[in-house]
Chains A and B, each alone.
Chain A
Amino acid sequence: MIWRALGYRAAQAGVVAFLVGVLTFLMMQALPGDMAFRIAAGRYGYDMVTADAAAAVRAELGLDRPAWAAFMVWLGDLGRLDLGVSVISGRPVWDEIRHQMGASLHLAGAALLLSALIGPPLGILAGLRAGGWLDRGLLVLSSGLRAVPQFLMGLILIVLVSIQLSWLPAAGHGRAEHIILPALTLALGLAAVSARMARDAMAGVAARPFYAFGRWKGLSEGQMLRRHGLRNIGVAMVTFLSLQFVMLVEGVVVVESIFGWPGIGHALVHAIFGRDVPMVQGTALLLGLGFVALNALTDLLTRLIDPREIRA
C-alpha cells in the first residue's frame, strides 16, 4: 500500500514538472522579441549572446518548425533538470536558487516554529471545551486574524513596531533582529489557521465514543489527552502540514518582498518583473516538487501514526 502511495506521488511529480514546462513555455512564447535570442540568453547569459549563438539555437530547436517541436525540446531540457542560467544575473539557475533557499528556509523555519508554539496548543485547549469561553474567544480572534492578509499584517507591524515605536528595523537581513518582524508576520497568519484546525480535530476526537469511554474507565482529562487525544488528532495535523506549506510559500513571496529578505520569494518577484523565464521555471519547479515531496512525507508520517489499512 505504501509503495502504491509513493508511486502516486511520483506520477504527481511528473505531472507537476510537465505543467511547469507548459506554463513557462507559454510564458516564453508570449514575450516580445526573438525567441531564439532569448533562449540563447537563457543558456549563456545576455553578455555571451551573439547572432551566431541565436542562430545555433534556432537551428538546434528548429524554431522555424511548428511550436510543438520546440516545446518537446523545451520539455527535454526540463526533464534533464537543465535549467540554464538566469537572464538577469547570468549565473546558473541552480546556484541562484540554492543561495536563496537558505535565506527562505531560515525565515520559514522561524515562522513555523513560532506558529507551532502559538496555534495548536491554543486550538487543542479550545477543542477540549468546545463552546467554552476560550473556544469562542479564539474563534473571534482567529476570524479577525484571518481577515488580515499577510501583506497587511506586515504593513501593520511595520507601522506599529518600526514607525510608531521604532523598536525594530522594518527591513534588512543579516542581524538577528531582522528576522523578528517577517517571522512574526508569517507566524500570526499560520497560527490563526492552525489553531482552528487543531480545535476542530480535537473537538472531533473528544466527541468520539472512545473519548467518553476513556473517561468512564476513570482516566482524568490530562491522561485522556496524552494517551488518546494527541495521537488521534495527529493524522489531521500532519495532513494539515501540506496546507501550511502552501500558505507559507505564498506568505514567503509577499513577506520577503515587503521586508527585503533575500530569499526565493523575493527573487521570484524580481524574476517576474524582469521576465527572467529560466529563474521563474526553476523556482516553480522547486516549489512544486517541494510540495509533492512534502505530500510523500505526509503519507509516510500518516501511516506511521495510523497504521490501519482502511481509514474512515
Chain B
Amino acid sequence: MTPLLSATDIVVQAAGQMLVHPATLVLHPGRPLTILGETGSGKSLLAQALIGTLPQGLTARGRVTIGDRVLDAADPASFRPLWGRTLGVLPQEPWLSLDPLMPARDQVAEGHALVRGLSRVQARTAAVRDLDGLGLGRAGGLRPDQLSGGMAQRAAFAAARAGGARIIIADEPTKGLDAHRRDEICALLLKGAADGGGLLTITHDLALARALGGDLMVVRQGRVVEQGPTAQVLAAPDSDYTRALIAADPASWPRQAPRPAQGAPVLRAEVLSAARGGRVLFRDLDLSVHLGEVLGITGPSGCGKSTLGDTLLGLAWAEAGRVQRAQGIAPVRFQKLYQDPPSAFPRAVTLGRALDDLVALHRLDGARIAPLLDRMRLSPGLLTRRPDAVSGGELQRLALLRVLLLDPVFLFADEPTSRLDLITQAQVTRLMIDIAHQAGMALLIVSHDAHLIARSCDRVIALDGPLAQAA
C-alpha cells in the first residue's frame, strides 16, 4: 500500500531555536494518524510544516512526499498548488472559518467550480449532493450565523474536500466541544477516511485520539515521545509522559466515595428558574449548599450550568425564585473562579501588585501569601510577572490563592480547567478539592466534562437544557 503522505526529518526553527526536532511520519489511505500533545508541544507547528503554512519568522526543513510529488519543507510556496486539490485543511473552530456573509452551499460549490473546474450548474449540484450526504440538505441556503456549531462544522468539512482533496488535516477539531459534539465530529472525520482517504488529526484530546484509532504520535516539547498503533500505545505506553497523560484523563481518575454533606448550609435556593433568549434553562430548582461539600454541575454547552452558578452568586438575574445566603457572613466570602484565568486579573499590573491591592483593601495579613504559594507549588518569582506572562495552570492556582486570602465559605468554579492541559487539569482539580476540604468551604464546580464532575464531586446536578433535576 503506497502511503498518501510521508514526511522525513521535519524540523521547525525560529531564530536558531529548534521548535520541532526531527520528526518522521507516514500517512496511509484509510488509516487515521493522530498527533497528540499539549499546548506548546509543537504539534501544530509540525502539521503546519507539512502543508507549508508556518507563521512568519519560522522556517522548516525536511522532505515531504505527497502522492508522487516530492516537496522541500523549506519552500512553503511549493505546497500551495496542492491546497484544496490534494490537501484539505479543516481548521480550528470551523464556524469562524466560513465566510460569514455567504450561504453554506456557495462556499462548498466554489471548490467544485473554481478548483475542480466544474461548470456553475454542475458545481451547485455537487455541493447540494455533498451537503445532503452530511445531513445538511435543507441548510445549504443558510449563512454560517444561521447554522448551529455542528452544522457549520459539517459544512466546513464539505468545503474543505470540495476541491478533490484526498488528505484531510484537522487541527484541534474538538477544541471547546462537549462529549456529544466530539463524537459527532469524530464520526465525520472517520467517514472521510473510510473510503481510502487520508486523515491527519492534531489534538490534545485523548478521547478523540482513542476514538479515531489508526496510528498515534505523542509529542512533547517539540519531540516525538512515542509513536505506533493507537490501541497499542494507549494500552501499553512506553514513555512515562504518555502514562502520565493517560492517568490525567478524567475518565481514568479514581472514583471516590461521596461524603455526605455535614456542615451548615451557606446558601439555599428555592424554586429557582432562569431563561436566556426566550429559552428556559432550568425551572423550579431547589438546592442547598453546605459547608465542606463539593457540588458539581454538568451538562452540554448552552444548558445554563454557568448561569445557575452565577445566579447562586447573585451575578445573574433569576426569572423566579430566590437565593438566600446564611446570615452574618461577609459578602466577600462568596467567591468565584473563572474559565479564562488571564481575564480574571487586572491586565496591566504584576500579580504581586494585584494581591497587595487586595491585602491593603481588607487589611489582611500579607504574610499568609508565602505559605499559600508553597502549598500551591508556585514559585514566588511569579508575583513579579504580569498575567500574560504566566501559564494558565499557574494563573488558575494564583486565582485560587487570591480568593483563599478572603477565607471563602462558598466558591463557584466556572469551568476552571477547560482551558488547561490534561495533566495540569488533574493537578489543579485535585488541589482545589483538597483545599476546599481543608478549609471547610463549599465548592461548586461547573464543567462540561461529565467524567470530571462524577469523579471529583460529592453531589452532582445534571442539567440537560429545558429541565433540571437534582440528583
The interface residues of chain A lying within 8 Å CB-to-CB of B80 are: 215
Q: Write the chain B residue with the least CB distance to A310.
A: B145
The interface residues of chain B lying within 8 Å CB-to-CB of A227 are: 99, 102, 110
Q: B398 interface residue, CB < 8 Å from A?
A: no
Q: B98 interface residue, CB < 8 Å from A?
A: yes
B98 interface neighbour in A210, A305, A307, A308, Cβ under 8 Å: A210
Chain B 68-104 interface residues, beta-carbon cutoff 8 Å to A: 80, 83-85, 87-89, 91-93, 96-102
CB of A223 within 8 A of CB of B93, answer: no
How far in angstroms is the closest Cβ of chain B from A7? Answer: 23
Q: A212 interface residue, CB < 8 Å from B?
A: yes
CB of B97 within 8 A of CB of A209, answer: yes
The interface residues of chain A lying within 8 Å CB-to-CB of B7 are: none
CB of A209 within 8 A of CB of B91, answer: yes
CB of B84 within 8 A of CB of A209, answer: no
Which of A214, A220, A307 has the most C-beta atoms of chain B within 10 angstroms of its own C-beta? A214
Whole-angstrom CA separation of A307 from B102 in the bound complex: 10
Whole-angstrom CA separation of A212 from B93 in the bound complex: 13
B-facing mask of A301-312, CB < 8 A → 1, else 0?
000011111100
Interface segment, B23-31, B126-134, B159-167, B432-440?
B159-167
Q: B156 interface residue, CB < 8 Å from A?
A: yes
With A210-B96, A227-B110, A308-B145: A216-B160 Cβ-Cβ less than 8 Å? yes
Q: Write the chain A residue with the least CB distance to B145.
A: A308
CB of B99 within 8 A of CB of A214, answer: yes
Whole-angstrom CA separation of A219 from B160 in the bound complex: 11
CB of A305 within 8 A of CB of B89, answer: no
CB of A218 within 8 A of CB of B163, answer: yes
Whole-angstrom CA separation of A223 from B97 in the bound complex: 17
Q: B111 interface residue, CB < 8 Å from A?
A: yes
Q: Tally A-B pairs: CB < 8 A.
A: 78
Q: A213 interface residue, CB < 8 Å from B?
A: yes
Chain B 104-155 interface residues, beta-carbon cutoff 8 Å to A: 110-111, 114-115, 143, 145
CB of A232 within 8 A of CB of B83, answer: no
Q: Write the chain B residue with the least CB distance to A235.
A: B101
Interface residues on B, range: 20 to 34
With A209-B93, A213-B156, A227-B110: A219-B100 Cβ-Cβ less than 8 Å? no
The interface residues of chain A lying within 8 Å CB-to-CB of B92 are: 209
Q: B53 interface residue, CB < 8 Å from A?
A: yes
The interface residues of chain B lying within 8 Å CB-to-CB of A208 are: 96
With A209-B96, A217-B159: A228-B89 Cβ-Cβ less than 8 Å? no
Q: Write the chain B residue with the least CB distance to A306.
A: B101
The interface residues of chain B lying within 8 Å CB-to-CB of A217 are: 83-84, 88, 110-111, 115, 159-160, 162-163
Q: A231 interface residue, CB < 8 Å from B?
A: yes
CB of B91 within 8 A of CB of A216, answer: yes
CB of B88 within 8 A of CB of A216, answer: yes
The interface residues of chain A lying within 8 Å CB-to-CB of B115 are: 217-219
With A217-B162, A218-B163, A308-B143: A232-B88 Cβ-Cβ less than 8 Å? no
B-facing mask of A281-312, CB < 8 A → 1, else 0?
00000000000000000000000011111100
How far in angstroms is the closest Cβ of chain B from A76? Answer: 45
CB of A216 within 8 A of CB of B96, answer: no
CB of B99 within 8 A of CB of A232, answer: yes
CB of A223 within 8 A of CB of B102, answer: no
CB of A215 within 8 A of CB of B99, answer: no
Q: Write the chain A residue with the least CB distance to B80.
A: A215
CB of B102 within 8 A of CB of A219, answer: no
A218 interface neighbour in B51, B97, B98, B111, Cβ under 8 Å: B111
How far in angstroms is the closest Cβ of chain A from B376? Answer: 36
How far in angstroms is the closest Cβ of chain B from A128? Answer: 15
CB of A219 within 8 A of CB of B110, answer: yes
Which of A210, A220, A227, A228 has the most C-beta atoms of chain B within 10 angstroms of its own C-beta? A210
Chain A 253-278 interface residues, beta-carbon cutoff 8 Å to B: none
B-facing mask of A64-82, CB < 8 A → 1, else 0?
0000000000000000000
Q: Write the chain B residue with the least CB distance to A218.
A: B84
CB of B100 within 8 A of CB of A210, answer: yes
CB of A218 within 8 A of CB of B114, answer: yes
The interface residues of chain B lying within 8 Å CB-to-CB of A223 are: 110, 114
Whole-angstrom CA separation of A223 from B100 in the bound complex: 17
How far in angstroms is the closest Cβ of chain B from A45? Answer: 56
With A217-B163, A218-B84: A305-B110 Cβ-Cβ less than 8 Å? no
The interface residues of chain A lying within 8 Å CB-to-CB of B96 are: 208-210
Which of B51, B83, B100 has the most C-beta atoms of chain A within 10 angstroms of its own C-beta? B100
B-facing mask of A196-240, CB < 8 A → 1, else 0?
000000000000111011111111100100011001100000000
Q: Write the chain A residue with the least CB distance to B143.
A: A308
Whole-angstrom CA separation of A219 from B110 in the bound complex: 8
Chain A 234-251 interface residues, beta-carbon cutoff 8 Å to B: none
The interface residues of chain B lying within 8 Å CB-to-CB of A213 are: 89, 91, 97-98, 156, 159-160
CB of B91 within 8 A of CB of A219, answer: no
Whole-angstrom CA separation of A73 from B145 in the bound complex: 52
Q: Write the chain B residue with the least CB distance to A228.
A: B99
Chain B 307-346 interface residues, beta-carbon cutoff 8 Å to A: none
B100 interface neighbour in A214, A215, A308, Cβ under 8 Å: A308
How far in angstroms is the closest Cβ of chain B from A160? Answer: 42
How far in angstroms is the closest Cβ of chain B from A1? Answer: 14
The interface residues of chain B lying within 8 Å CB-to-CB of A231 are: 101-102
The interface residues of chain B lying within 8 Å CB-to-CB of A218 are: 83-85, 111, 114-115, 163, 165
How far in angstroms is the closest Cβ of chain A from B309? Answer: 25
A216 interface neighbour in B84, B100, B101, B114, Cβ under 8 Å: B84
Whole-angstrom CA separation of A214 from B99 in the bound complex: 9
The interface residues of chain A lying within 8 Å CB-to-CB of B98 are: 210, 213
Whole-angstrom CA separation of A209 from B159 in the bound complex: 14
How far in angstroms is the closest Cβ of chain A from B55? Answer: 11
A-facing mask of B267-289, CB < 8 A → 1, else 0?
00000000000000000000000
Whole-angstrom CA separation of A260 from B25 in the bound complex: 75
Which A residues are closer than 8 A to B by beta carbons? 208-210, 212-220, 223, 227-228, 231-232, 305-310
Known pairs A214-B99, A227-B102, A308-B143. 14 more at Cβ < 8 A?
A209-B93, A209-B96, A209-B97, A212-B91, A213-B98, A213-B156, A216-B84, A216-B160, A223-B110, A227-B110, A232-B100, A232-B101, A306-B100, A306-B101
- Give 4 closest A-B pairs by Cβ, nearest first: A218-B84, A218-B115, A213-B97, A216-B89
- Pairs across A and B, CB under 8 Å, 22 listed: A209-B97, A210-B96, A210-B100, A212-B53, A212-B97, A213-B159, A216-B51, A216-B53, A217-B88, A217-B110, A217-B159, A218-B165, A219-B84, A219-B115, A220-B114, A223-B110, A223-B114, A227-B110, A231-B101, A306-B100, A307-B143, A308-B143
